[in-house]
Structure 1
Amino acid sequence: MLNSFSPSAPVDGTCSLGRLSTYHVEAHTANDVQKTLNFVRAHDIRLSIKNSGHDYFGRSNAANSLAIWTRNMKNAQYHETYQARGCQSTFENVGEVGAGISAQEAWEFFEPLGMLVTVGATGSVGIAGGYGQGGGHGPLGPMYGLMVDNAIEFDVITADGQARTINACSAAEDAELFWAMRGGGGGTFAVLISYRFQLHPAVPLNVYSFQASFPIPDGQLNITQSAVHRDVVRALASNQALFASHGMAGYNFVLPDHMVSLQILPSTNTELIKNITSTYNKFLTRYPSLNIIENTYYTFRKFSEWYAFAQTPSIARNGPVGVGISESGRFLPKRLFSKPESVEKLVDAVVTAMQFSLQHGGGGAAQLYATGPFSHPVNSGTGVNPAFRDALWEVIMGGIWTSNTPDSIRHQIRNTISASVEPFKALTPGGGCYMNEGDWTEDNWQQTFFGSNYDRLLEVKRLFDPTGLFNCWKCVGWSGYDE
């Protein structure tokens, strides 16, 4: 593995494919996919599916497999009105993308048409596959819902090689498949060819951007005893319900020595964000122990302008490539933000997790995302983990390593990150996390990744993939079905 921090540096050792697929089919059409599925089924060959490869679990790769590479399915189309197959009603402002379209390619296509796409934070992520089938959260999530909430219709190839167009109006079995592929996980039920989804008329993205560094007395730090860390997290948590009620998204990064906090509100009222964040702004501005780097309001008329700005603070670092990474996460429900005593328990959990991570080599950073579908609490038409709909924060603890990191240190980082999420689990018994940003060592992965939808998802899996064509050791969440 190359060191992404120094990609031209030489590496030692024996070169091998590792877990990368041995052969790839460069698929351009549905027919290419059909032929590939018929071939692997006839010869009992391991299969994997890959577009951009953004997957912390490595589900887009599998050793000794034949990969369907969907990157070249680049079609994109705008429909002013669209009638899904078998449906009586029509939709307005519908986008259509092939399986190989990335987030940036999507917004660059639809932005000149005056439309917003519910993409995430990283432009190189493919939006139709793992992102668009696993949930899909981002800066527009609180206002418009997850990517799966906006899905209208899919063109897919099922394990039997059959081409299907599926939506909520389909016959019973195909409607179940559509439900499952709206949140049940990419590469699990069928090969996605095209994704049709609701677009939203463009409005300005109004942003409150705050960055500050923290003093560390005598070079020593115990985050659990740090007043500045506690006060900052408490201030954010105390305002989060207000932010969410207005459909405002947030990217918040709290580290041992600094913080980055971005609040994003899509609105034609460019002054509204100042009113909503006034209490939070006053606290941060007047807090004596913060060395303020930025404390500014912005209005971006186009999504591309917001994205260019977001590369500077921290969000661009959310999609690291060429490094080893370990993550663990947890949904934090709205009840934890409702009363001062529950907020205090939440603050305790954050600083305890950060200190444990720092003390045991994980880095000590906490990522607090407010990018979920809180303003869209009920949607029985999707298979996404129901815990996502009640969450005001998705907290992520993470650590990275490079090719130069010894195996013993990598092992320590993985164990540390897995353990650092325990304070959040204690607050949310029976809770869950976003499957695309979770810990592959989760004991109760059925509940954690799928919640109450697991049994129904499993039945859909058995119905459309009875031989487990799309199953392998890498497909987190379905290992029990393999057995």
Structure 2
Amino acid sequence: MYPLRVFFAASLLAALEVAGKAFPFESIQLTQADTQHFPAIEFGNRETAPPWTNPTPRCRAWPGSPGWPCETEWRQLNISLEGALLRPLPPASACYEGDSYNETTCRWLVEESRRTHFWIDDPLSTLTQWPQGGTCRLAIDAEGTCTRGGFPEYVVNATTVKQIQTAVNFARNKNLRLVIKNTGHDFGGRSMGAGSLSIWVHNLKDFEFIPEYTIGPYSGMAVRVGAGVESWDQFNHMATNNISVVAPGGPTVGAVGGWIAVAGHGSLTSKYGLGADQVLSINIVMADGRFLTVDPNHHQDLWWALRGGGPSTFGVITSVILKAYPPITTTSVILSFSVNPFLNSTTPPQDPNSLTDLTSFWRGVSLSYHYCPKIIAVGGYCFSYITPLGNSSFSFTSSQIIPNITVPAYRTLLQPLYTQLNTLHNIPVSLPTTGITPTLYAGNGSRTGAGDFPVNTRYRSRLFPAYLWQNATAWEEVFAAIRAGVEEGGYTFHGIAYSPTAEVAGWPGADSAVNPAWRETALHGSLMDVQPEGITAEEVRAKDERVQGYVARWQKLMPGVGAYMNEGDPAEKEWQWRFYGAGYRRLVRIKREWDPWGVFWARTTVGSEGWEVVTADGYPMGQNGRLCRVEGGA
């Protein structure tokens, strides 16, 4: 019997070793032999890299400059990439007079494209347009000319690791600016850059369910997710495999990559932690062009840094292994009320829960936020907006989303909130008696991810610490500052209450580069507005200064708080501390060790303070300009 037990044990070990191996596209890799006839794609050597502070060359190569690759080199690169090199035009070029003009296409883009997946599947476009520079605006009967602006010069449609390695090596060896893009679901301009070579990982859609996966103390279900998988893809895979996986709430947000590299929040944050907390292994192409597997047993410094230490910083992620859980249901209803001080008998409210008393409205909103820790305590979260409607009118909407709770328990938990809103503030809301139904946390094959359209939303965020909810005076002061941003400033406040503590994160999530402020937070709050097209650099600076003044009121009342980079301000003045916390210096050391050339750069990523985009008009945070070293920067 003993040899038989050994046989079964060996068989099980072999099965576990096979499960979760690299995807087929990751087995296609660049070799030294591939580089022999084209030195521009040779691998890098970190040991012989120039010093980090080397000021030469000061700027990345620029189209038309002496250092820019010649047409022969671009053709040779495309051969090495097996035809994956693209030079796409901005979609809006169809609206401008010239060779690309097409009235039918232009009209479809303006009127119909928002109902499709077009913008997510475009190799250039991002959902936030203002960093591009407004050089090719989408409009019927557009005037002037369309130029590339902040969009990349070339795009590599990566479908193998070999293509990613080739692109990274070419960019490093030819001193090119390099950017990484999946869906373009990006609020700060990280997915674009003038004069750059872009690695587009959007078509790396592979997914694998791993029934048994063991690493360190973890033993359970897992999934391997390709870098191009979107949240809606992920949810549909959950339904197919009868599992749940922590995923972004936005359907077209990439399920891995930038989401987990910063932190990654969603509707299971209070129950299972952040996206970064789910990671068990990462496959990645580094700045020297080499392909690594990074996990608790290999490259421990990178293992710490890649989970929370910033996107577009250390390499190009190709796939990630994440924890998976048994199927989860979520239960929620929308709480909504508004205020219009000018309502009267001749102006009936459109909202049956509308008030005329501003004081009652704001007290009701404060009470709703103050109730959220009870939701967090059972693994749920509150997802809310306070929206200015003009003419001193405002609306408040909130969903209290709770996993794995029965309908009676949900009603028992929420009823006191509704009772207090009724009795204390005379707000006519009621918890529905019917229609509260737990929903499977999965796509059931029905999610498509359609409906995104380029806009110019800007976020300024902070992580509000949990101690505020234990001190009534402190909360009232902070809430007054939130109210000022909406009522005086005219900004929308987006609040998401959750608590991804170290205990919730568990192993290995509790030990990572995630900003420690996340572990103390109970609310992620943002002020949102739209950056209009066509405004001048001076007008942008004035807008920035105004909204930052309101955020500074929060900051004064909550010294030392952090912020979420993915929904933060690219103009954040103390971004090193706000986005990364006390681990920033350690991250810089790791960045310099693994990317001594500074191949990977994006605004507010680790080490990015040593470089700047030099725009023609000084447009703040724009990407329509050459990337150059800051004089005296390291």
TM-score of the superposition, structure 1-length normalised?
A: 0.87
Higher mean C-alpha displacement, 3-12 vs 160-169: 3-12
Q: Are the aligned partners of 1:326 and 1:417 in contact in 2 as well (CA < 8 Å)?
A: no
- Structure 1 counterpart of 2:417, from 280, 283, 287: 280
In structure 1, distance between residues paired with 2:179 and 2:469: 41
Tell me the residue number matched to 1:143.
271
In structure 1, distance between residues paired with 2:263 and 2:531: 27
Tell me the residue number matched to 2:440.
302
1:75 maps to 2:206? yes
Cα gap change, 1:320 to 1:109, in 2 (>3 Å): closer
Higher mean C-alpha displacement, 159-168 vs 205-214: 205-214
Tell me the residue number matched to 1:265.
402
Matches within 5 A, 1:325-474: 325-358=457-490, 364-374=491-501, 376=504, 379-403=509-533, 412-471=542-601, 474=603
Q: Secondary structure at the match of 2:332?
A: strand
Q: Secondary structure at the match of 1:366?
A: strand
Give the deviation of 1:303 after TM superposition.
Answer: 2.4
In structure 2, distance between residues paired with 1:122 and 1:90: 28
Q: Secondary structure at the match of 1:421?
A: helix
Q: Are the aligned partners of 1:188 and 1:475 in contact in 2 as well (CA < 8 Å)?
A: no
CA deviation vs aligned residue, 1:119-145 (integer Å, no higher than 9, x gap): 122101112111121111011111111
Tell me the residue number matched to 1:119.
247
Q: Are the aligned partners of 2:238 and 2:442 in contact in 1 as well (CA < 8 Å)?
A: no
Q: Secondary structure at the match of 2:170?
A: helix
Q: How many residues align?
A: 460
Tell me the residue number matched to 2:381.
249
1:206 maps to 2:206? no
Alignment RMSD (CA, Å): 3.0
In structure 2, distance between residues paired with 1:262 and 1:307: 24
- Structure 2 counterpart of 1:161, from 289, 297, 300: 289
Q: Secondary structure at the match of 1:116?
A: coil
- Structure 1 counterpart of 2:220, from 81, 92, 95: 92
Give the deviation of 1:176 after TM superposition.
Answer: 1.2
Give the deviation of 1:235 after TM superposition.
Answer: 0.7
In structure 2, distance between residues paired with 1:24 and 1:475: 23
Give the deviation of 1:42 after TM superposition.
Answer: 1.6
Cα gap change, 1:403 to 1:446, in 2 (>3 Å): closer
- Structure 1 counterpart of 2:306, from 169, 181, 200: 181
In structure 2, distance between residues paired with 1:344 and 1:467: 49
Q: Are the aligned partners of 2:406 and 2:438 in contact in 1 as well (CA < 8 Å)?
A: no
Q: Are the aligned partners of 1:157 and 1:192 in contact in 2 as well (CA < 8 Å)?
A: yes
Q: Are the aligned partners of 1:135 and 1:384 in contact in 2 as well (CA < 8 Å)?
A: yes
In structure 1, distance between residues paired with 2:604 and 2:153: 18
CA deviation vs aligned residue, 1:390-423 (integer Å, no higher than 9, x gap): 1100110010145477877655544433222122
CA deviation vs aligned residue, 1:141-180 (integer Å, no higher than 9, x gap): 111111100110001111111111111122xxx1111211
Tell me the residue number matched to 1:20.
151
CA deviation vs aligned residue, 1:280-339 (integer Å, no higher than 9, x gap): 122335566646598576323322479999x9xxxx99x964122221111110111102
Q: Secondary structure at the match of 1:335?
A: helix
CA deviation vs aligned residue, 1:341-377 (integer Å, no higher than 9, x gap): 222112212112222322xxxxx32111114514627
Residue identity matched to 1:258: S
In structure 2, distance between residues paired with 1:211 and 1:324: 26
Percent identity of paired positions between Structure 1 and Structure 2: 25
Q: Secondary structure at the match of 1:188?
A: coil
Tell me the residue number matched to 1:222.
none
Give the deviation of 1:218 after TM superposition.
Answer: 7.2
In structure 1, distance between residues paired with 2:337 and 2:566: 29
Residue identity matched to 2:251: G
Q: Are the aligned partners of 1:368 and 1:395 in contact in 2 as well (CA < 8 Å)?
A: yes
Cα gap change, 1:272 to 1:299, in 2 (>3 Å): same
In structure 2, distance between residues paired with 1:140 and 1:295: 24
In structure 2, distance between residues paired with 1:277 and 1:291: 15
Tell me the residue number matched to 1:41.
172
In structure 1, distance between residues paired with 2:512 and 2:595: 19
Q: Secondary structure at the match of 1:471?
A: coil
Give the deviation of 1:91 after TM superposition.
Answer: 2.7
Q: Secondary structure at the match of 1:419?
A: helix
- Structure 2 counterpart of 1:238, from 370, 393, 404: 370
- Structure 2 counterpart of 1:478, from 588, 593, 607: 607
In structure 2, distance between residues paired with 1:421 and 1:5: 34
Give the deviation of 1:245 after TM superposition.
Answer: 1.5
In structure 2, distance between residues paired with 1:372 and 1:17: 42
Q: Are the aligned partners of 2:383 and 2:399 in contact in 1 as well (CA < 8 Å)?
A: yes
- Structure 2 counterpart of 1:217, from 327, 342, 345: 342
Structure 2: where are the runs of 5+ without partners?
1-89, 93-106, 112-137, 345-356, 389-393, 612-632
In structure 1, distance between residues paired with 2:140 and 2:605: 33
Give the deviation of 1:237 after TM superposition.
Answer: 3.2
Structure 1: where are the runs of 5+ without partners?
220-224, 359-363
Cα gap change, 1:428 to 1:175, in 2 (>3 Å): same
In structure 2, distance between residues paired with 1:16 and 1:295: 53
Q: Are the aligned partners of 1:323 and 1:402 in contact in 2 as well (CA < 8 Å)?
A: no
Cα gap change, 1:479 to 1:407, in 2 (>3 Å): closer
Q: Are the aligned partners of 1:331 and 1:433 in contact in 2 as well (CA < 8 Å)?
A: yes
Cα gap change, 1:268 to 1:210, in 2 (>3 Å): closer
Residue identity matched to 1:340: A
Residue identity matched to 1:441: A
In structure 1, distance between residues paired with 2:185 and 2:406: 35
Residue identity matched to 1:275: T
CA deviation vs aligned residue, 1:232-253 (integer Å, no higher than 9, x gap): 2321233122222211111011
Q: Are the aligned partners of 1:329 and 1:395 in contact in 2 as well (CA < 8 Å)?
A: yes
Q: Secondary structure at the match of 1:15?
A: coil
Q: Which has the larger radius of gyration?
A: 2
Residue identity matched to 2:494: Q
Tell me the residue number matched to 2:64.
none
In structure 1, distance between residues paired with 2:174 and 2:482: 50
In structure 2, distance between residues paired with 1:446 and 1:408: 25
Tell me the residue number matched to 2:44.
none
Cα gap change, 1:402 to 1:300, in 2 (>3 Å): farther
1:62 maps to 2:187? no
Residue identity matched to 2:200: W
Cα gap change, 1:346 to 1:475, in 2 (>3 Å): closer
In structure 2, distance between residues paired with 1:392 and 1:431: 12
